[in-house]
Chain A
């Protein structure tokens, strides 16, 4: 861990954002230890509408053996399912950062699926507090929608593991309200339902969100840099409306 931190700090200091990620250990197929899900959550999350989560699995991402998906839920929430994140070997790593809504927190459960070894699970507790000044979510705001963004390094060496950051402006509400001791649906949900990632014509990632995704999500994931290509990110909301943005990947100057 310390080694990684130094590595990352060094990369930032040199102005080489975004992060170049170390490659995962190869040749560990079949080892139990590599089906360990690392879940990072704050001890005490302070924005119930945007609990930040990092999930990753240190595991090969080879064509015949890779982590196919990570599925996140919090059973005691009114919208328990937070998202399912599907990966391919082109990601280079099963890793995602995003933000979700949780009124009071609880046990976050992540179910991973390995193409060879099946499912495995990990849990982590999170507490959520509310600042007390916050007002209830604005159910009607639709002013800022879209402006999708991708950020990744300007020039990459093929095989580099990089962090891709994406963002879209979009409100998010569950449509549920707490009435008479339980949650009832007051209006339709409105949220970013899906993010698809393509490298040229190939779909390399599929992130399925729920109405528990935070407003204006910032989503990070890994990409094993190709020699060249076009990265395309496509967001679709719960009403079927879509926004896309692309980034051309150029070969590094030799």
Chain B
């Protein structure tokens, strides 16, 4: 018998099965009677679930590689809002509109964009359930991003509407910016970092920089308190530590996982029992693969992330289904937008080769990741990879020597280019 139940221990360790969160894969308990094929398949078809950095890229690149293949993209949101750069909305340096785009570019490539939610996958029948109907596929690419493990923080599920994560760019980003800007001078902004792995390892620390810069400039008596579940800054550690020296309003507490939130008392409690009061809270919850990946049993035994073939991104659990982006695990790559975009392209080419009966060429991703540490300077990391014995292996990782305006300028070129690559 455990002293802590296994569930309690895994929750405390930041991993964990989200027991009870979702029923087992493949159940049809919630199934409405099916109306049938909502778009009968005429020729070869690839369905893509998720129109983010991975899915939108994959959809476009299948069309570019072979226009004889029909591509249907399922994305509930009518607009694409970029998570990369959204931290600058908090500091007021950019508007949310400047990083919001429509899907007409994909339509111009012949991608059929349906603003619907995929509700289930039936791997044996090779079809995706959408509302009361379904779509058949020859190959399926699943790029569902991340979803949150609400139950790992006591009190969070009940307070979801008021405790913001702003970890999926969009309305919450604008709302959190509003809360920050309305906070009294002298107030405390609390930001909590979940245990690895989560979307965008340097993201929380860039957010800390942007909030700290904003407070230093506009509310000099206010402070930002960072409660990090991890033992240290997870990414670009030395560079962020150096950047934070410019912000005496930052208090950073590592090994301080948040266990509980009382949104009425405006207080969070850490694993060691520290109680911290906040005026504004940004609680970034622990994460797992997007819900559809869990429903379809694409995830591992801990029900968190999907293991895939490193050359084709085909799921190790279900043939014919490929998983890309934040939802994947096992590759030595970060959960970044750039990696999702790279996986989207590689997977698209792989899927087209497979549908055409050709051998898939080995293709390795690459990653560049920028973090803005103030209103004008940024830092960056670059990862180079290769394929070795069928696995993605890191060749090297390089960091910029420090923060600079030149790196910030580079990042503007990067975003223009990559947003166009995904959606143009």
Write the chain B residue with the least CB distance to A151.
Answer: B273
Whether the pair B302, A43 counts as a contact (CB closer than 8 A) is yes
Q: Is A250 positioned at the interface, with any CB of B under 8 Å from its CB?
A: no
Whether the pair A54, B9 counts as a contact (CB closer than 8 A) is yes
Chain A residue numbers with a CB within 8 Å of B235 are 131, 133-135
Complex formed: what's the CA distance from A132 to B364 in Å?
14
Q: Is B10 positioned at the interface, with any CB of A under 8 Å from its CB?
A: yes
Whether the pair B15, A46 counts as a contact (CB closer than 8 A) is yes
- Segment from B68-76, B195-203, B313-321, B346-354 that makes contact with A: B195-203
A109-168 residues at the B interface, CB under 8 angstroms: 129-135, 138, 144, 149, 151, 163, 165, 167
Write the chain A residue with the least CB distance to B19.
Answer: A5
Minimum distance in angstroms from B296 CB to a CB of chain A: 18
Whether the pair B302, A131 counts as a contact (CB closer than 8 A) is no
Complex formed: what's the CA distance from A238 to B74 in Å?
56
Q: Is B391 positioned at the interface, with any CB of A under 8 Å from its CB?
A: no
- Majority DSSP secondary structure for residues of B touching A: loop
With A45-B15, A132-B334, A151-B273 in contact, is A54–B201 under 8 Å at CB? no
How many A-B pairs have beta carbons closer than 8 Å: the answer is 147
Q: Is B77 positioned at the interface, with any CB of A under 8 Å from its CB?
A: no
Whether the pair A93, B3 counts as a contact (CB closer than 8 A) is yes
Whether the pair B273, A42 counts as a contact (CB closer than 8 A) is no
Whether the pair A43, B334 counts as a contact (CB closer than 8 A) is no
Q: Is A50 positioned at the interface, with any CB of B under 8 Å from its CB?
A: yes
Complex formed: what's the CA distance from A38 to B3 in Å?
10
Chain B residue numbers with a CB within 8 Å of A52 are 9, 12-15
Whether the pair A12, B154 counts as a contact (CB closer than 8 A) is yes
Q: Is B291 positioned at the interface, with any CB of A under 8 Å from its CB?
A: no
Q: Is A47 positioned at the interface, with any CB of B under 8 Å from its CB?
A: yes
Q: Is B333 positioned at the interface, with any CB of A under 8 Å from its CB?
A: yes
Q: Which of B6, B202, B369 contacts A40 (CB 8 A)?
A: B6
Q: Is B356 positioned at the interface, with any CB of A under 8 Å from its CB?
A: no
Complex formed: what's the CA distance from A129 to B197 in Å?
10
- Segment from A181-189, A191-199, A202-210, A213-221 that makes contact with B: A213-221
Q: Is A18 positioned at the interface, with any CB of B under 8 Å from its CB?
A: yes
Q: Is B104 positioned at the interface, with any CB of A under 8 Å from its CB?
A: no
Chain A residue numbers with a CB within 8 Å of B4 are 8, 19, 40, 54, 97, 163
Whether the pair A8, B5 counts as a contact (CB closer than 8 A) is yes
The residue in B13, B235, B336, B399 that gathers the most chain A C-beta atoms within 10 A of its C-beta is B13
Minimum distance in angstroms from A142 CB to a CB of chain B: 13
Write the chain A residue with the least CB distance to B13.
Answer: A52
Complex formed: what's the CA distance from A189 to B330 in Å?
30
Q: Is B100 positioned at the interface, with any CB of A under 8 Å from its CB?
A: no
Complex formed: what's the CA distance from A134 to B260 in Å?
27
Whether the pair B334, A133 counts as a contact (CB closer than 8 A) is yes
Write the chain B residue with the least CB distance to A135.
Answer: B237
The residue in B2, B232, B236, B394 that gathers the most chain A C-beta atoms within 10 A of its C-beta is B232
With A132-B332, A133-B235 in contact, is A44–B2 under 8 Å at CB? no
Chain A residue numbers with a CB within 8 Å of B302 are 42-44
With A43-B301, A50-B230 in contact, is A131–B6 under 8 Å at CB? no
Whether the pair B273, A18 counts as a contact (CB closer than 8 A) is yes
Q: Is B152 positioned at the interface, with any CB of A under 8 Å from its CB?
A: no
Q: Is A95 positioned at the interface, with any CB of B under 8 Å from its CB?
A: yes
Chain B residue numbers with a CB within 8 Å of A131 are 196-197, 201, 234-235, 334-335
Q: Is B231 positioned at the interface, with any CB of A under 8 Å from its CB?
A: yes
Q: Is A17 positioned at the interface, with any CB of B under 8 Å from its CB?
A: yes
With A133-B334, A151-B273 in contact, is A4–B254 under 8 Å at CB? no
Write the chain A residue with the least CB distance to B4.
Answer: A54
The residue in A52, A133, A138, A214 that gathers the most chain B C-beta atoms within 10 A of its C-beta is A133
Interface string of A43-83 (1 = CB under 8 A from B): 11111011010101010000000000000000000000000
The residue in B195, B202, B255 that gathers the most chain A C-beta atoms within 10 A of its C-beta is B255
Interface string of A14-50 (1 = CB under 8 A from B): 0001110110000000000000001010111111011
Q: Which of B3, B202, B231, B272 contacts A165 (CB 8 A)?
A: B272
Minimum distance in angstroms from A42 CB to a CB of chain B: 4
Complex formed: what's the CA distance from A144 to B232 in Å?
11
Whether the pair A165, B334 counts as a contact (CB closer than 8 A) is no
Chain B residue numbers with a CB within 8 Å of A218 are 255, 271-272
Chain A residue numbers with a CB within 8 Å of B2 are 1, 4, 38, 40, 54, 56
Chain B residue numbers with a CB within 8 Å of A8 are 4-5, 8
Write the chain B residue with the least CB distance to A147.
Answer: B253
Write the chain A residue with the least CB distance to B332.
Answer: A132
Whether the pair B230, A47 counts as a contact (CB closer than 8 A) is yes
Q: Which of B7, B195, B271, B335 contacts A5 (CB 8 A)?
A: B7
Minimum distance in angstroms from B29 CB to a CB of chain A: 22
Whether the pair B9, A1 counts as a contact (CB closer than 8 A) is no
Q: Is B165 positioned at the interface, with any CB of A under 8 Å from its CB?
A: no
Whether the pair B330, A129 counts as a contact (CB closer than 8 A) is yes
Whether the pair B383, A46 counts as a contact (CB closer than 8 A) is no
Write the chain B residue with the least CB distance to A38.
Answer: B2
Minimum distance in angstroms from A24 CB to a CB of chain B: 8
Which residues of A does B touch, CB under 8 Å? Answer: 1, 4-5, 8, 12, 17-19, 21-22, 38, 40, 42-47, 49-50, 52, 54, 56, 58, 93, 95, 97, 99, 129-135, 138, 144, 149, 151, 163, 165, 167, 169, 214-218, 222
8 pairs of residues in contact across A and B, judged by CB atoms under 8 Å: A1-B5, A22-B1, A54-B4, A95-B3, A97-B12, A131-B334, A132-B367, A135-B397
Beyond the given A12-B154, A19-B4, A130-B332, please list 15 additional residue pairs across the A-B interface where CB-CB is below 8 A.
Answer: A1-B2, A1-B5, A8-B4, A17-B273, A50-B231, A52-B15, A132-B367, A133-B234, A135-B236, A165-B271, A165-B272, A165-B273, A169-B255, A215-B232, A215-B254
Which residues of B does A touch, CB under 8 Å? Answer: 1-10, 12-16, 154, 195-197, 201-202, 230-232, 234-238, 254-255, 260, 269, 271-273, 300-302, 304-305, 329-336, 339, 367, 369, 381, 383, 394, 397, 399
